[in-house]
């Protein structure tokens, strides 16, 4: 039983690594030269901030005064 848990954990780590790699490589638009790491980090930060702002806007509720 412990072996299944270890195999499951390793499989989850591999999947997470593949997804993270895809996300980082998809930051640069197709046809563009790959950006330097600093630019990639800034683009990811911008995307995260935009996603957080959109989520915050969606969750706003009217004030009950």
Q: Give residue 52's pLDDT.
A: 86
- What is the radius of gyration, based on Cα positions, of the chain? 19
Q: Give residue 4's pLDDT.
A: 80
Q: Please state the rounded mean pLDDT for residues 49-53.
A: 88
CA atoms within 13 A on the CB side of 34: 5
What pLDDT digit, counting tens, does each position of 15-47 carry? 998 888 888 777 655 556 666 888 888 988 999
**Helix (H/G/I), strand (E/B), else coil: 22:** helix
CA atoms within 13 A on the CB side of 60: 7
Q: Give residue 14's pLDDT.
A: 92
What is the distance between the alpha carbons of residues 63 and 55, in angstroms, rounded to a whole number?
18
Tell whether the torsion through CA atoms of 27, 32, 37 and 43 is positive or negative.
negative
């Amino acid at each position: 039983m412990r072996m299944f848990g270890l195999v499951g954990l390793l499989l989850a780590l591999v999947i997470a690594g593949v997804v993270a790699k895809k996300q980082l490589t998809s930051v640069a638009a197709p046809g563009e030269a790959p950006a330097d790491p600093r630019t990639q980090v800034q683009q990811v930060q911008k995307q995260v901030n935009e996603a957080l702002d959109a989520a915050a806007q969606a969750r706003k509720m009217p004030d009950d005064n």
